[in-house]
Structure 1
Amino acid sequence: MSTQRRALLGAGLAAATLPFLGRAEAAAPFIGRGAPAWYRFRFGEYEATIVSDGALPLGKAEDSFVGAAPGEVNAMMRAAMLDPSNALLEQNALVLNTGRHLILFDTGMGDSMGPASQMFGPTTGRLLRNLRQAGIDPAQIDLVVVSHGHCDHCWALVDANGNRNFPNAQVAISEADLNYWTNDANIRGPAFMEPFIRGAQKNLNAYRDRMVMLRDGQEVVPGVTAISAPGHTVGHTIFAVSSGPRVMVYTGDLAHHHVLLLRRPLLEFAFDTDPKQSAQTRARLLDRFATDLPLVMSYHFPWPGLGHVVKEGQGYAWLQAPMDVTSLG
Structure 2
Amino acid sequence: MINRRALLGAGAMLPLAAQAAAPFANTPAPGWYRFRWGDFEATVVSDGTLPLGEPAGGFPTSPPGEARQLLESAFLRPDNVLLEQNCLVLNTGRQLILFDTGMGDSMGPASQMFGPTTGKLLANLRAAGIDPAAIDMVVLTHPHCDHCWALVDAQGRRNFPNAQVALSEVDLRYWTDANNKRGPEFMGAFIDGATKNLNAYRDRLVMVRDEQEVVPGVTALFAPGHTLGHHVYAITSQGRTMINSGDLAHHHVLLLRRPMWEFAYDTDPALSARTRTRMLDRVATDGHAMISYHFPWPGLGHVTKEGQGFAWHQAPMNVTTVG
TM-score by length of 2: 0.94
- 2:74 aligns with 80
Whether 1:167 and 2:158 are equivalent positions in the alignment is: no
Matches of 2:155 and 2:29, distance apart in 1: 29
1:42 to 28, 36, 43: 36
Alpha carbons 1:262, 1:318 under 8 Å: kept = yes
Residue deviations 1:241-293 (CA, integer Å, cap 9, x gap): 00021100000000000000000000000000000000000000011111001
Matches of 2:97 and 2:218, distance apart in 1: 10
Structure 2, unaligned runs of 5 or more: 1-9
Q: How does 1:64-213 map to 2 (within 5 A)?
A: 64-213=58-207
- 1:304 aligns with 298
Alpha carbons 2:133, 2:162 under 8 Å: kept = yes
Structure 1, unaligned runs of 5 or more: 1-18
Matches of 1:294 and 1:323, distance apart in 2: 18
Matches of 1:39 and 1:131, distance apart in 2: 11
- 1:279 aligns with 273
- 2:6 aligns with none
Matches of 2:11 and 2:101, distance apart in 1: 50
1:63 to 57, 61, 77: 57
Matches of 1:54 and 1:27, distance apart in 2: 31
Deviation beyond 4 Å, 4+ runs, structure 1? 325-328
Matches of 1:78 and 1:323, distance apart in 2: 24
**How many Å apart are 1:66 and its aligned residue?**
2.5
AA aligned opposite 2:271? Q
Alpha carbons 2:35, 2:319 under 8 Å: kept = no
- 1:6 aligns with none
- 1:29 aligns with 23
AA aligned opposite 2:86? N
Alpha carbons 1:102, 1:141 under 8 Å: kept = yes
Secondary structure at the counterpart of residue 51 of structure 1 = strand
AA aligned opposite 1:270? A
Alpha carbons 2:136, 2:162 under 8 Å: kept = yes
Matches of 1:195 and 1:208, distance apart in 2: 20
CA RMSD of aligned residues (A): 1.4
**How many Å apart are 1:65 and its aligned residue?**
1.2
AA aligned opposite 1:231? G
**How many Å apart are 1:71 and its aligned residue?**
1.2
Matches of 1:195 and 1:287, distance apart in 2: 34
Residues 1:197 and 1:20: Cα distance change in structure 2 (over 3 Å)? farther
Matches of 1:113 and 1:256, distance apart in 2: 23
Residues 1:315 and 1:77: Cα distance change in structure 2 (over 3 Å)? same
Secondary structure at the counterpart of residue 253 of structure 1 = coil
Residues 1:166 and 1:261: Cα distance change in structure 2 (over 3 Å)? same
- 2:314 aligns with 320
**How many Å apart are 1:68 and its aligned residue?**
2.4
- 1:235 aligns with 229
Residue deviations 1:187-241 (CA, integer Å, cap 9, x gap): 0011100010000010001000010001011000110000000000010010000
AA aligned opposite 2:105? D
Secondary structure at the counterpart of residue 117 of structure 1 = helix
